[in-house]
Amino acid sequence: MQQTIVKLENLSHRYSQQWAVKDISFEINRNGILGLLGSNGAGKSTTMNILCGVLSQTEGQVSIDGIDIRQNPEEAKKRIGFLPQQAPLHLEQTVDEYLTFCAHIRLLPKRDIKAAVEAVKERCGVAHFSNRLIGNLSGGYRQRVGIAQAIIHKPLLVVLDEPTNGLDPNQILEVRQLIKEIAAERSVIFSSHILAEVQATCHDIIMIEGGQVVFKDTMQAFNNYIAPDSLIVSFENAPSIEVLKSIPGITSGEQVEDKTYRLHFDDAHQISEKVVLKSVEEGWRLTEINLEKSSLDAIFAQLSNKRSSQTIS
């Protein structure tokens, strides 16, 4: 039987009269990376702040390794490592000073602190910056130090809120790899509003929109759900948009560049082949044709509408 690391039951929280999250429930039962995906303001940060004991929920229950975080917060928090969106770094301290401080506030025994600091520096690739002021580190290395403080006490659960925000492409790849290595030994919740980040990193996904869970499954199931809904097409002898919209299955379209169009379509079969054949027949000289996936906003809308219709029925 798998160990339940995290359990949220009917979690709800209200700021004044506004519900930030409403009736959220899920469990995490194993090591690996769970993606928490949602647009800005969807309720992700509120959920994570409650999960980590930073905020007390209005309703519902949260337990970490079977410990209720409201009834026994100290014991529950010993099992959690948290990197908020704004990493809680002390820029005037060196890497060693800061991580030693973090080890103390995580209540590690004094005899174990030095070894814990050395181990976490090595794991996060910052050992060569031991005596460097954090304020003098690049964004990528600051983020590594932030992750180091979150795992220094070897928690069962690590919660990372937008951990790749503001990093350049190379730094993003490095931090992704570090997170995957950490997840081999513990459960990780990876929050982001960027679909590509979650797709590249996570095995399972929970999608929150409007404070409610609108999707909960594996990343593979989610990717299967995202169907293409538009074509990008370019022609040497481009027809008018009205002519393109007359092709059976095309529902709407707009001009993107001089001879390039975005064509939206319904569930018509073999829409690409229809456009290619029409181009050959009319001598349009097709130079590009690419399927586009649904935008993230469109996916949120589809899932929210689907959930609403299921609730009403």
Highest mean pLDDT among 17-31, 41-55, 105-119, 290-304: 105-119
Contacts of 283-287 with C-beta under 8 Å, sequence gap 24+, read 283/237, 284/235, 284/236, 284/237, 284/238, 284/239, 285/235, 285/236, 285/237, 286/233, 286/234, 286/235, 286/236, 287/234, 287/235, 287/236, 287/259
Q: Residue 133 above 60 pLDDT?
A: yes
pLDDT at res. 304? 59
- Write the CA distances from 35 to 78, 95, 121, 177, 206, integer angstroms: 22, 29, 25, 15, 6
Q: Residue 55 and residue 40: Cα distance in Å, rounded?
A: 19
Is-contact 155 80, C-beta < 8 A?
yes
Q: Write the pLDDT tens digit of every residue in 67-101.
A: 999 999 999 999 999 999 888 999 999 999 999 99
Ordered by where they begin, the domains of the chain are 6-225 (3.40.50.300), 228-293 (3.30.70)
pLDDT of 30 reads 81
Task: Give tens-digit pLDDT for 145-194.
Answer: 999 999 999 999 999 999 998 888 888 999 999 999 999 989 999 998 88
Single-letter amino acid code for the residue at 296? L
- DSSP annotation string for 97-134: HHHHHHHHHTT--HHHHHHHHHHHHHHHT-GGGTTSBG
pLDDT above 50: residue 313: no
Count of C-beta atoms within a 10 Å radius of residue 235:
20
Longest Cα separation, the chain = 80
**pLDDT higher than threshold 60 for residue 1:** no
